[in-house]
Amino acid sequence: MRKLSVIAFVLFLPLLLLALIQLNDTLNDPGVTVYNYVKKADRNMTPSVDHTQFEILQQPFEDAHKVTAACLSCHTNRHEEIMATSHWRWQRDEVLEGRGIIPLGKKNILNNFCIGIAGSEATCTRCHIGYGWVDQSFDFKEPTNVDCLICHDKTGTYQKEKGNGGYPKASVDLNYVSTHVGSPGRDNCGVCHFWGGGGNNVKHGDLEISLLDCTLEVDVHMATEGENMSCVDCHVTEKHQMAGKLYALSSENKSRATCEQCHTNKPHNDKIIDDHNLRVACQTCHIPVYAKVNDTKMYWDWSSAGELDEHGEAFHEPDVDGNHKYMSIKGTFVWANHVIPEYYWFNGIADHQLISDQIDTIPVQMNRLMGSYRDKGLFQESEQPSKIWPVKVHRGKQIYDMVNNTLVQPKLWAKEKGKNAFWLDFDWDASVKEGMAYLELPYSGEYGFVETEMYWPLNHMVSPASQSLKCIDCHTRNNSRLANLNDFYLPGRDTNWQVEASGITLIILSLIGVIIHAIFRVIFRRRYFLSKKFKEGNES
Amino acid sequence: MKKVYLYKGFERFWHWTQAFLIFFLMLTGFEIHGSYNLIGYENAVRWHDDAGWALLILMIFASFWHVTTGEWKQYIPTAKNVRAQMEYYLTGIFRNAPHPTGKRILSKLNPIQRLVYFALTIIVIPVMVISGFTYLYFNYPIQGFALDSLEPVAFIHTIGAYILITFVIIHLYLITTGHTITSNLVAMITGWEKMDEEEAQVAVEDVIESTKRHYVKQINGDKKKKAKKNKNTDSELK
């Protein structure tokens, strides 16, 4: 017996050890360890200079250009950095798989929200970091065209005017703003990135005004009660070049802002979960839902746009939650909150449906995310394996050229009626003619509406660890989050019916055999003993 | 009636630990397979992995034991008496006929057991271990050995699991076909199996013989004598 227990002990020593190690891990959980990041509490947050004391800023600025000139008089040649960024150029040279280098960006890419900026620049460029971009004649080389204040204003009073090419409102006190500047906060970035597409949270779903003051449940990084991080804490910036971009406009797997830059690719102190990171993006588990506070736009049908009320005026109707359900200028919308993402394989490379491209899939994929299970990286096609990503898919119907089979650019906006802008004249044909002529592209004159999809990989609204996805959310036969990602075998979700059928048949057959055999034994034994007793009785 | 010491301490420890581990692996394995929710998917995965490792370690010890003790020979399949054993299970057992092959200390397994255990040891268990650890380490493609998909690995592992369940069902049933319903079970727990005088005699006969052969050897006397003689003559010459 003693020998036995010794052997048992030796055998289970490794198991015991394993259990102890795991126990130790849970007891000594050090919390979240981050790298390449200095906590705000450990930083000197006082500005190094006081801009109110600079003489050059003590002037009533006639116009915004003069402010920029003043900035550049000390911050010499900073405009050169700005002018190299896509925030300024609204395009960058991107390699599209199999198509070579194409300059792409907001300047020329179409989306399935407000479609595109061409012909309507004066209103769209309210979100451009410059002054005066109203048409193609804008001078991208003029240093004083740069708008420093939109990003560096710390007063919250700096606002750009509608439809005026990015100039500030006349009410803005330029002297006050220019003397109160600093590193961009969430409000600076948010004024454009929260409001893209014509309203709060229309586009991203995970970027919206609630992030200006939110709880840990909404976003662990930006929560006011938490680390209260600014955008640029993750979107690390050097010489005005910000890390990170969105695949609505980008195509290449480069200069991305990643979770790994602070958290490493093995942050869990747990091998099985860390291993998932090989093929599953952090975001997939840690952003279980998006649009956690305000609604985001899920569907935009342009084909119903243009209805006017009895006075011939444009109108709009709210839905029960107060969001626009219908707008004469834009069509029909569907909004949603607490949306469960859709999941796609993604290797960091995206393709785009350019205005010159033939439509070959319906729905049209505006920015197809590349990747598949088989794209494993390492020794295979791409450098990085495709990972499963959570994506907001924005679906819609938008105008296209039925003869040339391409998407088209209608002119949407103008200062006044009669310029063939759809939002004022409500004439699709005229607005497309105008828009396509502006781009010097062909238009057959026959338009229709085609279904489109646009993909927005999610990165923000990271939930606390306790609310991240659990194994069973994906590894389950019913209602798996990955139910639609079918190009691979997922344990717990997938079975092969032949394997199951033959296995279960085997079990049933063996059970039947065993039961029949047992019954026979009982019957025959009894008969045998009875006959034996009978014989014995006879003999005596 | 007599009792014969049939199963040694380690053998029983190995058997029951393996039984427990296989049962536990089944339970957690089919949860991972998505068949039911019992202890939670995450727990199932962790415990299944740990139990897999424990079983591997146990198997290494058991193999060592089998090799060093020579017990492995008990698993060499034989065609002899397979038919008789089959007939016993199909007809004899109902007539209370005697087992065609008596249990001996050096030959505990009947011919069908030999065949089945041999097949388990040589085919099913290695396939389960290899597919299991491939499953576990699937994430780390090695150049030249990057599997395209987990699918075939998972299918093989699942088929193996179904075969093992089938084995367990039949095995559990056949336990009851001993001298009495529980005599086999008691033997595997205590090591001692109840037997008739005659059976007990047969069971120990060969172990006595083999022990004799093992420790006592006939010496070839002539050669040695000759050598001795030569030695003697040599010394005489001196």
What is the CATH T-level fold of the domain B2-237, as seen in this structure?
Answer: Fumarate Reductase Cytochrome B subunit (1.20.950)
Residues from chain A that touch B148, judged by Cβ atoms under 8 A, are 374
Whole-angstrom distance, CA of residue A532 vs CA of residue B101? 24
Q: Looking at chain A, which residue has its C-alpha nearest residue B154?
A: A491
Residue B157 has pLDDT above 70, yes or no: yes
Q: According to the model, what pLDDT value does residue B237 have?
A: 46
For residue A156 the two structure tokens come to 């919250």
For residue A516 the two structure tokens come to 């029949």
A510 and chain B: CB distance < 8 Å anywhere? yes
Residues 6+ apart with CB under 8 A from B68: none
My answer on whether omega of the bond before A363 falls inside 30° of 0, hence cis, is: yes
> Cβ of B94 and A525 within 8 Å?
yes
Total Cβ atoms within 10 A of residue B221: 8
Residues from chain A that touch B8, judged by Cβ atoms under 8 A, are none
Helix, strand, coil in percent for chain A, rounding step 5:
30, 15, 55
Residue A29 has pLDDT above 70, yes or no: no
Mutate to test the interface with B, among A5, A20, A379 (most CBs of B within 10 A): A379
Query: Tens digit of pLDDT for each residue in A338-389?
Result: 999 999 999 999 999 999 999 999 999 999 999 998 887 655 545 678 999 9
> Cβ of B10 and A488 within 8 Å?
no
A468 and chain B: CB distance < 8 Å anywhere? no
Q: Which amino acid is at A7?
A: I
Mean pLDDT of B135-152: 76
Whole-angstrom distance, CA of residue A248 vs CA of residue A356? 17
Residue B188 has pLDDT above 60, yes or no: yes
Q: Looking at chain A, which residue has its C-alpha nearest residue B33?
A: A492
Residues of chain A with pLDDT > 70: what percent?
92
Q: According to the model, what pLDDT value does residue A389 have?
A: 97
Query: Tens digit of pLDDT for each residue in A212-224?
Result: 999 999 999 999 9
Residue A262 has pLDDT above 60, yes or no: yes
> Cβ of B9 and A15 within 8 Å?
no
Q: According to the model, what pLDDT value does residue B116 have?
A: 95
The residues that bridge with A451 in the sheet, in sequence order, are A397
Q: According to the model, what pLDDT value does residue B236 have?
A: 45
Q: At what angle do helices B111-119 and B82-90 cross, to 10 degrees?
A: 100
For residue B106 the two structure tokens come to 């050096």
> Cβ of B159 and A502 within 8 Å?
yes
ipTM: 0.87
> Cβ of B17 and A11 within 8 Å?
yes
Q: How far is CA A531 from CA A518, B9, B180, in A?
A: 20, 42, 20
Q: According to the model, what pLDDT value does residue A208 have?
A: 97
Q: Looking at chain A, which residue has its C-alpha nearest residue B157?
A: A499
Task: Choose the closest CB to A11 out of B57, B95, B154.
Answer: B57
Mutate to test the interface with A, among B155, B156, B175, B181 (most CBs of A within 10 A): B155
Residue A462 has pLDDT above 90, yes or no: yes
Mean pLDDT of B203-228: 76
> Cβ of B141 and A15 within 8 Å?
no
R_g of chain B computed on alpha carbons: 25
Query: Tens digit of pLDDT for each residue in A44-84?
Result: 888 889 999 999 999 999 999 999 999 999 999 999 999 99
B95 and chain A: CB distance < 8 Å anywhere? yes
Residues from chain B that touch A8, judged by Cβ atoms under 8 A, are 13, 17
Total Cβ atoms within 10 A of residue A139: 11
Q: Which region, left, alpha or beta, applies to residue A90 given φ > 0 means left and ψ of -120 to 50 means alpha? A: left
A502 and chain B: CB distance < 8 Å anywhere? yes
Whole-angstrom distance, CA of residue B75 vs CA of residue A511? 26
Q: According to the model, what pLDDT value does residue B235 have?
A: 47
Where along chain A do its domains lie? Answer: 91-127+183-469
Q: Looking at chain B, which residue has its C-alpha nearest residue A275?
A: B139
Q: According to the model, what pLDDT value does residue B173 have?
A: 96
Mean pLDDT of A272-280: 91
Whole-angstrom distance, CA of residue A73 vs CA of residue A68? 9
Q: Residues 16 to 35 of A: which have CB under 8 A from any B CB?
A: 18-19, 22
A511 and chain B: CB distance < 8 Å anywhere? yes
